[in-house]
Amino acid sequence: MPLDAVYLSALLTELRPQLVGARVDKVQQPERDKLLLSMRGGGGKGKLLLAAGVGSARLHFTDRAYENPASPPMFCMLLRKHLTGARLAEIIQPPMERVARLEFDTYNELGEPGRKALILELLGRYTNLILLDGEGRIVDALRRIDEEQNPSRRILPGLRYHPPEIQGNQSPLACTRADQTTLLSAASSDTRLDNWLLDTYLGLSPLICRELTNRTFGQTDARLGEASPAQVEAFQDSLQAFFNDLRNETWAPYALQDAAAPVDFSYTPIHQYGDQYTLTQGESFSSLLDGFYETRDQVERKRQQAGNLIKTVTNLRDRTARKLETQRQELTAAGDRDKHREQGDLIQANLHTMKRGESTLRAQNFYDPEGGEVEIPLDPRKTPQQNAAAYYKRYTKAKNAELHLADQITRATEELAYLESVLASIDRAETAGDIAQIRQELIDVGLLRQGSGKKQKPPPARPLEFESPTGFTICAGKNNVQNDQLSFKAANRGDLWFHAQKLHGSHVVIETGGREPDDETIEAAAQIAAWYSKGREAGKVPVDYTLVKHVKKPSGGKPGAANYVNFKTIYVTPDEARINRLKK
């Protein structure tokens, strides 16, 4: 959800003891809509991120390392001039508004004290960062807004700053039970109560309005006319309890998450989704925001990078498949080579009857057991001897082609299987770093070109790790390079190795440490191998397993290729929830 006014209140209440009194040590602008203030002194030190992106506006401390542009933007240079060395005096939030005003004590070039304000407005498409001088005039803004963009409010250097227009809604902090009854009685009977809350009270997001409705009615879309008097009474009791919590600052950071990524965050427990998402409580409002957006950004980067890489690898696969089909057709044609040799022999045997300029030779076919006649096309421009030589040449060419085609088909078949395994690896990738590793793998095997300029290889990543209920560590490679590393370098000969049968997927290893894995551990490892394979959605999946010492790398094989013997097969149905519980 967007960071609403109540969450902002909770966040600023948390940040004030750490920030007020701290000085700005450094100003950076790593991205178009992100500002980093390195703060020192006061309640500690850290990097304060102020983000003014539409849909991701926020402020919080961050431990994330951002890469700065080679040349700092003009707005960054301006802030460095005015704020470097300034002391943060106070942080102000207009009641129930999505605005944070950071007031700084500064000194001008003559050493005279003054005030500057940096305002973060979290206002949807008008989200902005605005620097004010001591008289309340705009020095500059991240986004200049002229009359054409917003006729009612211009944000331009030199103009006096006017706060955003306050909505005419009721503040939850000042709403009494009597006010609530009056407001509710004025609503029409077909009004959805979550919409009524959104339209009536300041600072409440759609998520919170749905949650408040759900707490009383067990659903988010309840209508006023469908509620009994007792339910309306309970609804009002619930609202007053919630408003009292806001007045008393009884709040805590909560995050909603599915298996892949964070979904939402709040300052109160969210139960409207049932078991669809996992609800967790964070250590602080600031760290929850930092983790939420970092993970969300990683997922988005992974999605974009994966989409581009899938397109590239799919094109390579389709091209290889077409080439393989052509080679197979050529091999079939090369299988008729003996016919060319026989035709040459028949011309050679009938040279005494032939003359130059003939286009056909009709002769007894001594290769036919029944002794029938055969017609052989001739090139009338050539002599009989030259026609015979041409057929012998076709025979030799077809014979040589068959030898080369067999080798080419073998290599193309291996490359096609490899590209299919790469697509499976992309499907299993969990982060942008995993995608970068797969791209580097394709560069290393020569299927992609290294981009121009000096490029750093992505750092090596560890395979996925799990722990069985009886304490065995289970590892699974996330891509072909990791599969090779796990199976042929990291694993011990006595460890147990798993792979989905005849399917592209992860190499999975139980680290036995000299112990005999129990049946539950073997089944868990097999489920992991099935889940991280192309058979994930196929129901029961056959998984082969054997000792690592029976797994060999084929000579010249592509990354991820393996041959194995002396294996057993177990059939499992992968259970995602169980696998997630086992993941370290």
Rounded distance between C-alpha atoms, residue 383 and residue 389, angstroms:
10
pLDDT at 410: 83
Single-letter residue type at 136: G
Superfamily of domain 5-141 in the CATH hierarchy: ibrinogen binding protein from staphylococcus aureus domain (2.30.310.10)
Q: Are 183 and 170 in contact (CB under 8 A)?
A: yes
Is the predicted pLDDT of residue 145 greater than 90, yes or no? yes
d(CA 252, CA 266): 8
Task: Determine the number of helices (DSSP H) and then strands (DSSP E) in the chain.
Answer: 13, 22
CB 245 within 8 A of CB 172: no
CA–CA distance, 415 with 447 (Å, rounded to integer): 10
- Measured CA to CA, the distance from residue 450 to residue 526 in angstroms comes to 37
Token code pair at residue 461: 């990543």
- 425, 428, 431, 433: CA torsion to nearest 10: -20
CA nearest neighbour of 15 among 44, 55, 54: 44
Looking at residue 348, its amino acid is: Q
Strand partners, 499: 544
In the 8-state DSSP scheme, what is residue 174?
A: G
Decide: 140 and 172 in contact? Cβ < 8 Å.
no
List % helix, strand, coil for the chain (3-state, nearest 5).
40, 20, 35
Q: Among residues 345, 398, 336, which one has the least CA distance to residue 376?
A: 345
Rounded to whole angstroms, the Cα distance separating 401 from 412 reads 16
Kindly report, residue by residue over 353-407, the tens digit of the pLDDT. Answer: 888 888 888 888 888 777 788 888 998 999 989 988 998 888 888 777 777 888 8
Q: Tell whether the model's pLDDT for residue 437 goes beyond 80.
A: yes
pLDDT given at position 565: 95
Q: Quick one: DSSP state of residue 64? A: P
Contact between 553 and 511 (Cβ < 8 Å):
no
**Mean pLDDT, to the nearest integer, of 547-562?**
92
How far apart (Å, rounded) are the C-alpha atoms in residues 439 and 450?
9
Query: 3 and 122 in contact (C-beta within 8 Å)?
Result: yes
pLDDT tens digit string along 325-349?
A: 988 887 777 667 777 777 777 888 8
Where do we find the tokens 């722990």? 467
Mean residue pLDDT across the chain: 89
Q: Where are the beta strands (DSSP E) in 311-443?
A: 360-364, 373-377
For 518, half-sphere exposure in the C-beta direction (CA atoms, 13 angstrom radius) is: 7
Other CB atoms within 10 Å distance of the CB of residue 379: 11
What are 263-313's pLDDT values in tens digits? 999 999 999 999 899 999 999 999 999 999 988 887 777 778 888 889 999
Provide the pairing of β-strand 254-257 with 278-281: antiparallel
Quick one: tokens of 26?
A: 């450094």
Structure tokens at 307: 């989409």
pLDDT for the residue 584: 84
Question: Residue 465 — very low, low, confident or very high, per pLDDT cuts 50/70/90?
Answer: very high
Q: Which residues contact 77 (CB under 8 A, 6 or more apart)?
A: none
Does 430 have pLDDT greater than 80? Answer: no
CA 468 from chain centre, in angstroms, equals: 27
* Residue 5: φ, ψ to 5°: -65, -35
Cα–Cα distance between 371 and 33 in angstroms, integer? 88
Cα diameter, the chain: 122
Q: Which residue has the higher pLDDT, 537 or 242?
A: 242
Q: Are 72 and 29 in contact (CB under 8 A)?
A: yes
Dist. CA 395–CA 548, nearest whole Å: 48
pLDDT class for 1, splitting at 50, 70, 90?
low
Q: Which residues contact 157 (CB under 8 A, 6 or more apart)?
A: 138, 139, 140, 141, 144
Which residues lie below 8 Å from residue 337, measured CB to CB, with a gap of 6+?
Answer: 394, 395, 398, 399, 402
Q: How confident is the model at residue 453 (pLDDT cuts 50, 70, 90)?
A: low
Residues 437-454: what's their mean pLDDT?
80
Cβ contact 23:89 at 8 Å: no
In the prediction, which pLDDT does 455 show? 58
Give the integer Cα–Cα distance in Å for 549 and 357: 70
pLDDT at 117 over 60: yes
Distance CA(499)–CA(528), nearest Å, equals 9
DSSP state of 172: G
Range(s) of the chain covered by CATH 2.30.310.10:
5-141
Q: Other C-beta atoms within 10 Å of 459: how many?
A: 8
Q: Is 18 helix (H, G, I), strand (E, B) or coil?
A: helix
Q: Is the pLDDT of residue 108 over 90?
A: no
State the first-to-last Cα distance of the chain, in angstroms, to the nearest integer.
Answer: 29
Long-range pairs of 66-74 with CB within 8 A, sequence gap ≥ 24 = 66/28, 66/30, 66/31, 66/34, 66/36, 67/30, 68/28, 68/29, 68/30, 69/29, 69/30, 72/28, 72/29, 73/29, 73/32
Sign, Cα dihedral of 171, 177, 182, 185? positive
Lookup result for tokens 């960054």: 76
Asked whether residue 257 carries a pLDDT value surpassing 70, the answer given is: yes
Q: Is the pLDDT of residue 118 over 90?
A: yes
Hey, which residues does 31 pair with through a beta bridge? 34
pLDDT, tens digit, 9 for 90 and up, residues 24-82: 999 999 999 999 999 998 766 799 999 998 888 999 999 888 888 888 999 999 999 99
Give CA 535 to chain center in angstroms. 21
User: How high is the pLDDT of residue 124?
Assistant: 86
Q: Are strands 496-500 and 508-511 parallel, antiparallel or unpaired?
A: antiparallel
For residue 7, give every residue at least 6 positions away whose Cβ sits within 8 Å of its Cβ, in sequence order, or none. Answer: 265, 266, 267, 285
Written as one letter, the residue type at 198 is L
